Chains A and B, each alone.
Chain A
């Protein structure tokens, strides 16, 4: 217990506290800002927050990421649910193979998968451009300004669908099969069973995977950062986290970066709080308190 508490305090609690502290400070420049002592750290109150919340870059990065989430989460979870239901259905072939292959991208870190897809998006490499050329069609560039969001979303879907599929599939497997037998006797077909029994029963898992999806969406960083060298259409403030990175390390404004971090952390926290309420009472039924 003790090592966990010490590590927790050191790696999580103290950094959070320190960031909260910094977010309330700023640098005051005296004179020309040259020489020692001309830059002093002073209290800033909530002005950094005001700066963050009224920053057009920040607002557009939040909106962009919300749009991105609206693409990624339904597509990723929809596919994951579809695949999980198919795997769970007795009428489908090649199950082991499909399960393994669809889950496999989980083993590929986001950086590497972004790198691979990034190359596949280049017109000289893209098999889709090639195929379209053969039939004389010109495809739009995946990393064109209007499409780059989908290009990044595709990478997230590719990397996440298998993991979510396994989560939902495990939930499906824990449904007692008598339920299905009863439904079959009542004349339900596979589709009706899926819709009326399976999906309602695994709803908690679906909600949870959505919450996890939202949390990771808010924090998208690796994919756009890796794709940046390959296109001009991803700005340094594409996502909120990229903006925090830019403020903290390129502009050396750790105070604004801290305030933005706190805003992002609070947003994440609010989102995940629902999840906490959801799981807490279910998880420890078997422990005698």
Chain B
């Protein structure tokens, strides 16, 4: 890119960006401040004034029903982490097959899959519940994990990535050396796909972590909740016992910290060109 600096930096432009950044920081800074306040200060001191009770709040949250919150965090890690990892693998295999194999019905299958992107998880949650209820599988880890494994969008991205990043010649060379399909995929294709796979993983991770309706309808036992459903049920109870608000806010802070960290660490993978369908890394 050309970095011509013939003109002076634009104050208006920079100003708009900074205002945008401040807007985005408003709730995040607030949650840092609010979770350091004692329950009695939460509604009585200035919103952005820090308090000295962060560790008390964390202890309070940890005590809440014998560490239920931390169990929610572990559940979230399980749903989003394991779900995203498996779904990335499934997407990679399907994307690779569709990009590099010629088989009957390839276009049809791909179109049906794409149509699946467009009826996204949220409308599906209720039908999925009805089906899982028939099978007696609601209220289990599986009921949240299984529907998360398939991601039409992930397959779509994987297919594009394979066709852009894995040349046919490499696959042929591996075949000539006597490698079989599974081995070609594992030892040749997968390593070449790593940057694309990281991106798919991140998208899936955020999508599962963000999917509120699915666990909300599937799970009745609050020990299986992911942290989002857990905190929203706590907020519900807070309407009767405002003392709970303090731990809800502290929980909100603790729940976004790992994701913010992951996000900052991996930010270079977030470059998305949806229209061209390409994922750049």
Partner-B contacts on A (CB < 8 A): 1, 3-5, 7-8, 10-12, 14-16, 18-19, 22, 79, 82-83, 86-87, 89-95, 97-98, 100-113, 115-120, 122, 124-127, 130, 158, 161-163, 166-167, 170-171, 173-174, 177, 180-181, 190, 202, 204-205, 207-209, 212, 215, 219, 221-222, 225-226, 229-230, 241, 244-245, 248-249, 254, 257-258, 261, 264-265, 268-269, 272-273, 275-276, 278-280, 282-284, 286-287
Contacts and interface: CB of A to CB of B under 8 A. Distances in A.
B20 interface: yes
B47 A86 contact: no
28 contacts: A4-B155, A8-B150, A18-B131, A90-B7, A91-B8, A92-B14, A102-B20, A105-B24, A106-B263, A107-B206, A110-B210, A111-B231, A111-B232, A115-B252, A119-B30, A158-B23, A166-B272, A167-B273, A204-B275, A205-B273, A226-B235, A248-B130, A248-B217, A261-B123, A265-B123, A276-B114, A283-B160, A286-B163
Interface stretch (B50-58, B61-69, B171-179, B254-262): B254-262
B131 A15 contact: yes
A106 B90 contact: no
B260 A104 contact: yes
Size category of the binding interface on chain B: 35 or more
B260 A130 contact: no
Nearest to B240: A229
B120 to A, nearest CB: 7
B149 interface: yes
Nearest to B209: A109
B119 interface: yes
Nearest to B101: A1
B9 A109 contact: no
A77 to B, nearest CB: 13
B109 interface: yes
B213 interface: yes
Contact of A171 (B13, B122, B255, B275): B275
B119 A265 contact: yes
A248 B115 CA distance: 25
A30 to B, nearest CB: 24
B60 to A, nearest CB: 17
B91 interface: yes
Contacts, number: 291
A278 B114 CA distance: 13
B164 interface: yes
A241 to B, nearest CB: 7
Contacts of A166: 270-272
B136 interface: no
A191 to B, nearest CB: 11
Contacts of B47: 120, 125-127, 130
A207 B130 CA distance: 35
Given A125-B43, A205-B275, A98 B20 contact: yes
B90 A4 contact: yes
B130 A254 contact: yes
A68 to B, nearest CB: 15
A288 to B, nearest CB: 8
Contacts of B126: 19, 244-245, 248, 257-258, 261
B3 interface: yes
A11 B128 contact: yes
Contacts of A7: 90, 146, 149-150
Which 9 residue pairs of A and B lie closest in terms of their CB atoms, listed nearest first? A15-B127, A4-B94, A272-B118, A283-B277, A1-B97, A116-B27, A19-B127, A204-B275, A111-B228
A227 to B, nearest CB: 9
Contacts of A4: 90-91, 93-94, 113, 150, 155
Interface string B196-227: 00000000001001101100110000000000
B127 A18 contact: yes
Nearest to B23: A158
Contact of B98 (A1, A125, A190, A265): A1
A207 B250 CA distance: 39
Given A127-B47, A254-B130, A95 B120 contact: no
B255 to A, nearest CB: 6
B39 interface: no
Contact of A98 (B21, B229, B260): B21
B213 A119 contact: no
Contacts of B264: 100
Contact of B122 (A94, A126, A221): A221
A283 B276 contact: yes
B4 A90 contact: yes
B239 interface: yes
